[in-house]
A = this chain, B = another copy of it.
Amino acid sequence: MGYIVRYIYFLSDQTGVTVETLGHSLITQFDYHDFQQVTLPFIDSEDKAKEAVSKINSENRDSSEKPIIFSTLVQDELREIIKTVNGLHLDIFDVFIGPLEKELKQKSVRKSGLAHGMSDTKNYMKRIEATNFALSNDDGSILKHYDMADIILIGVSRSGKTPTCLYLAMQYGIYAANFPLTEFELEDGLIPKSLKQHHKKLFGLTIAPERLKQIRKERRSLGSYSSIKQISFEIRESERMFEKNNINYVDTTELSIEEISGKILEKTGIERRFRP
C-alpha cells in the first residue's frame, strides 16, 4: 500500500498571506496528518491561472485523494479558470463578495492588490517607525525612549519579549520597548530603578521553567543559564515581583507570538496605531 498524501494549495493574485492564514485555520480543524501544503502566489493573469490548473492536475493525477484548493482571486475570469481544476475549490471572494455587494448596494471594484497596497503612506510610516522604535529599545539598550513607549515588556531572558515587541510594532504600529530581568534585577523584588517612573506601562511575560529550559538550551547548552535550578529561581522571583507591584502579566508557555500580542492588547486596552 502506498502512502497517501492530500495536497492543499493556496492560490492568490497577491502574496498569498491572506489565503494561507484562512486555509490554515480551516485545515487545522481536521485530524489529518498528511497534508502537503503548496502556495502559488501572484496568479494575476489567465496564463498563470491555466498554468496553476495544469500543475495541480498533473501533481494529483495518480492520487486517490482529491486536492483542496483555497484561493483569494479577485477577478471573476481567473476564478472561472481555477474552477475547472480537478479538486475541491474554495474561494473567499466567490462566497462573500455577493452578500457584501447586496448589503453595500454597489459593485465591488474587483481589483487585486488593494488589501496590502501602500495607498496609505501614513500607515506605512507608522509601521516602520514603530518597528524602528522596537529595534532601538530592545533588551534594555542604552538608547532608551521610554517616554514614547506605549508599553514596556519585562521578563527573564528568552521569555518572548523581543519577538512580541516586533510583532506589536509590525502588526499594530504599537511602540513597544522591552527590558530584561536579570538575576541582579530580581534580588530585591523591586521594580528596576530605570523603570520606576514608567510603572503603568510595564507588562510582564512569564513562562514555564521546563519550556524555558528547552528554549535556552538551543542557545547555550552549558552553564547555569539553562539549568533548571537557575531558571526556576528567575521565574519565581519575576512572578513575585509582578504580583507585588501589581504588574499585569501573561504566561507565554502555550502561546504563539500572535496570541501573546493579542492578550496584551486585550489586557491593557492599548489602542493600535495602525490597521493593515
Interface on A for B, CB 8 Å cutoff? 6, 14-18, 20-22, 24-32, 37, 41-42, 66, 68, 72, 74, 88, 90, 92-93, 95-97, 99-100, 103-104, 106, 108-111, 113-118, 121, 124-125, 127-129, 131-132, 135, 138, 162-163, 166-167, 170-171, 214-215, 218, 254-259, 261-263, 265-266, 275-276
Contact = CB atoms under 8 A, between A and B. Distances in A.
A34 to B, nearest CB: 11
A66 B105 CA distance: 12
The 3 A-B pairs of least Cβ separation, nearest first, read: A15-B262, A29-B108, A25-B115
A256 B25 contact: no
B117 A17 contact: no
A218 to B, nearest CB: 6
Contacts of A74: 29
A103 B138 CA distance: 48
Nearest to A120: B256
A21 B19 CA distance: 9
25 contacts: A14-B262, A17-B262, A24-B276, A25-B92, A26-B96, A29-B93, A29-B110, A30-B104, A30-B106, A32-B106, A41-B262, A41-B265, A42-B263, A66-B103, A90-B96, A90-B100, A116-B258, A117-B254, A118-B254, A118-B256, A124-B256, A128-B215, A131-B166, A135-B135, A163-B170
Nearest to A261: B15
Interface of A is mostly: helix
A18 B25 CA distance: 8
A146 to B, nearest CB: 20
Contacts of A275: 20, 24, 37
A220 to B, nearest CB: 13
A30 B115 CA distance: 11
